Structures are given as structure tokens and as C-alpha cells.
Structure 1
Amino acid sequence: MQFEINAKKRDLQGSSASRRLRRDGRVPGIVYGAPGAPQSIDIDHNELFQALRKEAFHSSVVTLNIEGEKQMALLRDVQAHAYKAIVLHVDFQRVDATHKVHQKVPLHFINADIAPGVKTQGGMISHVMTEVDVKCLPGDLPAFIEVDLKDMSSGHSIHVSQLPLPKGVEVVHHGEGDPVVATLLVKGGKADEEAEAPAAEAAAAPAEKK
């Protein structure tokens, strides 16, 4: 999915100027990163708000049309009102088509209802991870990665190394081992030991520091 957001250059700075923009239905923001200097911008609130409601917008390369000048960028930060549906500020980072980028991409789980562990063994799928950090060229960045659960059965887990990555995309994860993405919880039993291990280690860590 391709997204294009229209923006205007913003010259006035400060909280007073930002409040005036918001009263006029505009969202103050900034686009930064090579090859140019940081540029303050403002965007129509409704246009941005509707785009933010789409999951793919958060993990896609966006075309920023700044008064006719188009730049490729990634959404990096969104500040929203604590309880109102109002976007207060937005940050974008420019990207170069020839340089790889890091971006978190959501995982879409499918076929859980036909997995043997769910359908015949009374189990339940546990999503240990809901997104992964990937590295690739901007043109190869996927909006999501699909995880097929149709073969999940008792004692079975899916690991990061088993994810079906598009060509040119690699997963970046910190630490050792091969993290669990999803595992099967047996009804009345316990989680797969591989999924429990990280949680057990995290719980024990504070005690070791005392």
C-alpha cells in the first residue's frame, strides 16, 4: 500500500504557533535525516488522522508532498492527546532508496482456527511477538509479515528463523538464540518451555541484582 501525505513548510516555531496551527486543524511536525536539513512542516489533521488509523501507514515508506517537493520518509513518532482523538505532533525521517532502513513491522497471524493443536487438542495459540524489527531497502519494506499457524500442534512453536521473509528483508533481533514468535498453550497445561524461559529469566533478574 502506498501513502502520500500533503504538507506545508512551517516557519513559525514555539508553543503559541503550534496552538494556532491546531486550532486551524493543522498538525505541527518535522521531517529530518539526510540528505537535507531538518524541515518543520504542518499537515491537515484529518488527512493525517485517517492515515494513522491504517496499520500499514506505521510501517510503510510514505511520500511526503511538501508544497510540490516529494520526499520518501518513515513515520518515527506521533504525539497524541491523552484522551481526545487529536494528533499533537508528528515526526518523519527521510529515507534514501539506496540505503537500508530499520523498521518495526507487524506480524499477521492466520489459520489459527484450523491448527491441529486448536481444533483437535483443545489448545490455544499464544502470540509471544506481535512485531519484528527488519532491515531492508525502502523499496523492499513489507507492510506486514504473515505467519501461518495451520500446522501448530501440542509442543510446537514458531521461531523467528521460520518467518517467511520477503526477498531482501532480514530480521534484526538483539540477544542470542532464536526467539519464539508463537507457541501453543495446551488447555489446562502450561506454555511451551521455550516461551516460558524468557519470562522466567526476566522475573529472576531483579533478585540477582540485590
Structure 2
Amino acid sequence: MADQVNLNAEKREGIGSAESGRLRRAGKIPGVVYGASQDSYAVQIDADTIKNILRNSASQQILVNLQIEGAKEANKLALIQDIQHHSISGDILHVDFNAVKEDSEIHARVPIELTGDPIGIKQGGILDTLLHDIEVHCLPKDLPETLQFDVTNLDIGDSLSIGSAEFPEGVSASLDGDVLIAIVNETRASVSEGGDDEAAEAAAEEEGEEKSEESSES
């Protein structure tokens, strides 16, 4: 499972674009906490801290232990549900925290990591990755940081689907089993080489037949 990280936050009263801009200039990021049968409320977090957390994680949907100053429940287990970025600079503008319960399933997108070199590549094929992350559902304690799938045994024309992939215990995909994750396709070079081999075999057979006919005539 992915490691849970601690994140300090402060409950805030001010809302609106002007207040959000003031917070960002002060090195804070505005956010909101909702879910787990509670009323939502606004928070602020340190910009450098959240940037560092995201920088060291493969996913943006991370479980955090929110320690909220000024809230009735000071400690909250929450999933970073959504992050809004500036369209040009990429700076973080706002963070949504979905408070979750340890005994209730959550839904989150987890990055895919394909491991191994498919045997089909050695034969001239190419590995096409069709999915880069998958939405899964599981208990918070079982949420993986990445999903690792071994593609070593994939030959040309073989594929890895949701149904054939091995997921960690307690983790299930939200997609249908026939959805493809990756496939090894033929390249033009491999098709051309295969055609050349077939042509060479046909030419050799034709030459052998001609020699056989010449021998019988003599």
C-alpha cells in the first residue's frame, strides 16, 4: 500500500477569489475538506509542503493524515481528490480533500507501471500502452501507490487486459475485464521481414520444383 503522509492544515473563514489570491501570495494554498458524512469546510495548507508531497509521489491522489487546526475533529484521514492547476504556470491553485473512513471503500486513480521486456519486442514488435492509470476501489489501507504489471511473456499480438492483470489483494478495478491495458503490435519492419521470409521460402520451393522437372525430362 502507499504510505500515508501527515499534512498540517488550518481551518479558514475567508472565501472568494480575493482571499484565495491573498493566501497564495502568503505561500498558502486554499482547499476544502468534504465527505465522510460531514459538512464541508475551507482550509489552507502550506504551498511548499504540498508541492513536496506531490513531487515524491507517483500519483496525485494520495492518502494524507490531515491535522487541522481550528476544526472540531483535529485529525482526518483524507484522499487528495482533486488539484486545480494554473493553466499556464502549472502552479497549484486549490486542493480538494475527501475525508474517508478506514472501514469504507474508496475510489482512486492509480498509475500503471509495466515491468519486463516483452518477448514480442525481441521479434520486432512494439509495446503500445493503452492505459496509464486505472480507477480502483479498495479500503484506504490497501490503496497502492502504483500498479505493477509484468509484460515479459507478451508476444506479438498478445495483450494485457483488466481481466488478465493481477491486482494486489483487496484492490479491484472499476473498469470491465475486457478493457486493454497494453498490447504488443507488429511494426512495419517486422511485417516486412515476415513477408521477405515467406517470399524467400516460396522462391526456394519454386526453384526446387523446376529442377525436379528438368531432371525428369532428361
Calculate the TM-score normalised by the size of structure 2: 0.79
Q: Secondary structure at the match of 2:24?
A: helix
Q: Percent identity?
A: 35
Q: Secondary structure at the match of 1:13?
A: coil
Task: Supply the AA of the counterpart residue of 2:188.
Answer: G
Q: After TM superposition, which residue ranges in structure 1, 4 or more long, deviate above 4 angstroms?
A: none
TM-aligned CA deviation for residue 52 of structure 1: 2.1
* CA distance 1:56–1:71, change in 2 (3 Å): farther
1:161 aligns with 2:158: no
Q: Which residue does the alignment assign to 2:112?
A: 107
Task: Supply the AA of the counterpart residue of 2:61.
Answer: S
Q: Which residue does the alignment assign to 2:132?
A: 130
What is the CA–CA distance in structure 2 between the aligned matches of 1:5 and 1:139, rounded to whole Å?
Answer: 17
* CA distance 1:7–1:38, change in 2 (3 Å): same
Q: Secondary structure at the match of 1:96?
A: coil
Query: Gaps (5+ residues) in structure 1?
Result: 191-210
Counterparts of residues 174-189 of structure 1 (less than 5 Å): 178-188=178-188
What is the CA–CA distance in structure 1 between the aligned matches of 2:59 and 2:185, rounded to whole Å?
Answer: 32
Q: Which residue does the alignment assign to 2:209?
A: none
* Aligned residues between the structures: 185
* CA distance 1:64–1:57, change in 2 (3 Å): farther
What is the CA–CA distance in structure 1 between the aligned matches of 2:30 and 2:124, rounded to whole Å?
Answer: 51
Q: 1:87 aligns with which of 92, 107, 112?
A: 92
Kept in 2: contact 1:159–1:182 (CA 8 A): yes
TM-aligned CA deviation for residue 48 of structure 1: 1.0
Q: Deviations over 1:82-125 (max 9, x none)?
A: 2224211111100011111111111101113xx21112x11110
CA radius of gyration, larger in: 2
Q: Which residue does the alignment assign to 1:60?
A: 62
What is the CA–CA distance in structure 2 between the aligned matches of 1:135 and 1:26, rounded to whole Å?
Answer: 31
Q: Which residue does the alignment assign to 1:97?
A: 102
TM-aligned CA deviation for residue 14 of structure 1: 1.5
What is the CA–CA distance in structure 2 between the aligned matches of 1:4 and 1:50, rounded to whole Å?
Answer: 12
What is the CA–CA distance in structure 2 between the aligned matches of 1:143 and 1:102, rounded to whole Å?
Answer: 13
What is the CA–CA distance in structure 2 between the aligned matches of 1:13 and 1:56, rounded to whole Å?
Answer: 31
Kept in 1: contact 2:61–2:81 (CA 8 A): no
Q: Which residue does the alignment assign to 1:140?
A: 142
What is the CA–CA distance in structure 1 between the aligned matches of 2:14 and 2:62, rounded to whole Å?
Answer: 29
TM-aligned CA deviation for residue 55 of structure 1: 3.6
Q: Which residue does the alignment assign to 2:208?
A: none
Q: 2:42 aligns with which of 40, 43, 58?
A: 40
TM-aligned CA deviation for residue 138 of structure 1: 1.0
What is the CA–CA distance in structure 1 between the aligned matches of 2:40 and 2:80, rounded to whole Å?
Answer: 14
Q: 2:14 aligns with which of 12, 15, 20?
A: 12
Q: 1:75 aligns with which of 55, 80, 91?
A: 80
Aligned-residue CA RMSD (Å): 1.8
Task: Supply the AA of the counterpart residue of 2:145.
Answer: A
What is the CA–CA distance in structure 2 between the aligned matches of 1:149 and 1:169, rounded to whole Å?
Answer: 20
